[in-house]
Amino acid sequence: MNDGNWEEPITFETNKLGKYWTVTSTAEAARALMDKWPANAGEAYEAALRTCLAAMEGDEAPDAAREAFLRAAEEADVFIR
């Protein structure tokens, strides 16, 4: 399994107001989507989770997972620093 480190981390506000989490890898993004995301539904959310898991298996690039994570954040109205 590949953690898929990202060159550019993403810091987002968790489902607890005022609490932030910096994601530096595909594995952390998958964990964030499963544990810290305010909505566990939506097309972009599901696509991001699938892309992150595929990237961890080596079937997708870490950059694709990062982009999918950003689309899921936009869909869920998650604040990105």
Radius of gyration for the alpha carbons in the chain, expressed in angstroms and rounded = 11
Q: Is the pLDDT of residue 79 over 70?
A: yes
- Structure-token pair, residue 45: 């959310």
Q: Which pLDDT does position 66 carry in this prediction?
A: 97
Domain residues of the chain, as ranges? 5-76
pLDDT per residue as tens digits for the range 10-56: 999 987 888 899 999 999 999 999 988 887 789 999 999 999 999 99
H/E/C letters for each residue in the chain? CCCCEEEEEEEEECCCCCCEEEEEEHHHHHHHHHHCCCCCCCHHHHHHHHHHHHHHCCCCCHHHHHHHHHHHHHHHCCCEC
